[in-house]
Amino acid sequence: MIKTADLCKSFDDIQALKDLTLNIKEAQVFGLVGTNGAGKSTLLRLISGVLKPDSGHITVDEEAVYDNPAVKSRLFFIADEPYFFPNANAAELKNYYSAVYAGFDGARFDRLLNEFGLDPKRAVSGYSKGMKKQLAVICGICTGTKYLLCDETFDGLDPMMRQAVKSLFANDMYERGLTPVIASHNLRELEDICDHVGLLHKGGLLLSEDLESMKLGIRKLQCVFESDEDAAKVLPRLQTVSTEQRGRLYTIVAKGEEEEIAACFADVNTVFFEMLPLTLEEIFICETEVAGYDIKKLILG
């Protein structure tokens, strides 16, 4: 498990993180969400031991990270703009990472290069942005580390490559208990992969929730009532988060279990009624609005 407690980090007069306390459990995909400048990259660099905190604590499996090579060997960090040695090719990177990480799987590295269509003899400097991201992911996966820290890893990948990378993560989670931590400013990128999501804002943790639990406790309803009287009867019964009416169509987001919500409609007449799953974006909007924040401004621009 990765734990941070009261973590602070500043660069000159800019405070990147302030009193951040966060737990990241093993063998799940943790999504770290926030706008540019929220502190995501700084947090990943602190966890990986690239940076030293000004105050507070970071532990990986109960051990401090900074200046601890044994702990760092369990981590691989993929930066937003991955660094590669000047004029190096993929084959040379394979030799380097084989020397640094005892568990590096060279045979798998060669196989994945071929599957992703990356030439091992071509200089990485000649790769496109997306190809460099693919290569960084392949390097990270093949190290066999327990934790993979990804900063905007899906940015620059086309939809097919995104699915391929997600499949790699899913396979290694199943096969060896990999824990990916994925930072992104885009909630939609994390929609179908995350188990737990943390929202950073101005260097602090705004929200950290298990995604499945969040989904279970909230529902979106779309309905057309036969009369205004039916609508007036139902709405006070629901624990509504938001209600929108367009003509006769009501779109209601309400908290509660499915059976509990359905029971509120038992004695009213509807022309149309359906209960829909919420997107990750909609869940966050609801949760943060309750806390007094407007996520549409924080995340959506």
Over residues 65-76, the pLDDT tens digits come to: 999 999 999 999
What is the assigned CATH class of domain 2-213? alpha beta
CATH architecture entry for 217-282: 2-Layer Sandwich (3.30)
User: Cβ neighbours of residue 192 under 8 Å, at least 6 residues apart?
Assistant: 166
Determine the Cα–Cα distance for residues 93 and 83; give it in Å rounded to an integer.
11
What are the structural domain ranges in the chain? 2-213, 217-282
| Residue range 190-240, pLDDT digits in tens | 877 888 988 888 888 888 888 777 776 788 999 999 999 999 999 999 988
Contact (CB, 8 A) for 146 and 110: no
* Phi/psi of residue 272, nearest 5 degrees: -150, 140
What is the chain's mean pLDDT, rounded? 88
**Identical fold, 2-213 and 217-282:** no
Q: Are 23 and 57 in contact (CB under 8 A)?
A: no
**Of 134-148, 252-266, 281-295, which one has max mean pLDDT?**
134-148
